[in-house]
Amino acid sequence: MTAGVDLGAPQTQAIRSDDDVVRVRQLVRTVAVATKLSLVDQTKLVTAASELARNTLIHGGGGTADVAGVDDGRRRGVRIVFTDSGPGIPDLDLALTDGYTTGGGLGLGLSGARRLVDDFDIVTAVDEGTRITVTKWSR
Amino acid sequence: MERVPVLKIGDILLVSIQVDMSDQTAVMLQEDLAERIVATGCHGVIIDITALDIVDSFVGRMLSTIASISKVLDAETVVVGMRPAVAITLVELGLSLNSIRTALNVERGMELIAAARTDEWVMVDGDEDAETTATT
């Protein structure tokens, strides 16, 4: 972590099934409550986590979510890192476009999740996998 | 596997989602509801999401699909009890749920369904109505 101090070790949730997506939501909710995010911010973060965990499962072929409370000295937040070693995203700009889908969904997962968080970082390489880091800060 | 119960109250099917649904559970609910609409001949479906912390794109799509399916099966769907934080998040996510009728609570949802049925009767009896208006 470049800036900020961890408020506790990240908790890892494996994403291998539908039920694991539910577990990611519950874990993120718990950490968001402990970090004292507002109700609306909790809801936004949990929704974003749900979208990204589903992407990790469906497009990445499964992976992990690491959830941690963070502190940058001024405010607290929750950081989640989704990692998979799936096929990667060949055209990132296209994948981040509203309505673009390869999974038969609404195409709002990635673009919508980005709107719901404060920081959004994505690292992807074809045939190697994808790592998405999102942070929601308290106000 | 968890299943969401579907209750029949008069001419209405009531679904109150009380669990954090997995995608599989959501898909099963969709199928259960379609079957129950046909089996019962109900003309209204109320989906109560008061207990839902979040509605993500998958659940949002499920709600739209249920509304479309029930429409084809001659039933009106109303989603009730959405939390304010959920509404704010849905709009920011980019899901407007235009095709879904909503009401603040179950009671208003039932009124909406009753009104929708009455409207249809008025349309069927359109001529008669015009006559009544003319004579008064």
Indicate the residue of A25, A43, A112 with minimum beta-carbon distance to B20. A25
User: pLDDT: is A74 or B1 the higher one?
Assistant: A74
Indicate the residue of B20, B57, B92 with minimum beta-carbon distance to A22. B20
Indicate the residue of A25, A46, A112 with minimum beta-carbon distance to B57. A112
* Residue A83: pLDDT over 50: yes
Which residue in this structure is represented by tokens 């109505």?
A: B129
Residues B118 and B99: their CA atoms lie apart, in Å, by 20
For residue A33, the distance in angstroms to the closest alpha carbon of chain B comes to: 13
Buried-exposed string B60-87: b where 16+ CB fall within 10 A, e elsewhere: bbbbbbbbebbeebebbbbbbbbbebbe
User: Which residues contact residue A14 at a Cβ distance below 8 angstroms, ignoring those fewer than 6 apart?
Assistant: A20, A62, A63, A64
pLDDT (average), residues A121-125:
95
CA distances from A85 to A15, A62, A104, A132, B33 (A): 12, 8, 21, 12, 37
* Tens of pLDDT, residues B32-55: 999 999 999 999 999 999 999 999
* Residue A40: pLDDT over 60: yes
CATH number of A5-137: 3.30.565.10
Tell me the average pLDDT of chain A: 90
* Residue A46: pLDDT over 80: yes
pLDDT of residue A87: 93
3-state secondary structure of A132: strand
Q: What is the dihedral of CA B123, B124, B126, B129, to 10 degrees?
A: -100
For residue B91, the distance in angstroms to the closest alpha carbon of chain A comes to: 10
pLDDT of residue B122: 72
Q: Which CATH architecture has domain B6-135?
A: 2-Layer Sandwich (3.30)
pLDDT of residue A6: 52
Interface of B with A (CB under 8 A): 20-24, 53-58, 60-61, 83-86, 88-89, 92-95
pLDDT of residue B123: 66
Spell out the domain ranges in chain B: 6-135
Which residue in this structure is represented by tokens 């009730």?
A: B80
pLDDT (average), residues A24-30:
97
Chain A CB contacts of B88 under 8 Å are: 40, 43-44
Indicate the residue of B20, B23, B58 with minimum beta-carbon distance to A26. B20
pLDDT of residue B135: 46
Chain B CB contacts of A39 under 8 Å are: 85
User: pLDDT: is B124 or A135 the higher one?
Assistant: A135
Q: What is the block-wise mean pLDDT of chain B (136 residues), using blocks of 10 residues?
A: 90 95 94 96 96 94 94 95 96 87 95 87 59 47
pLDDT of residue A98: 84
Spell out the domain ranges in chain A: 5-137
pLDDT of residue B96: 81
Chain A CB contacts of B83 under 8 Å are: 43
pLDDT (average), residues A34-58:
96
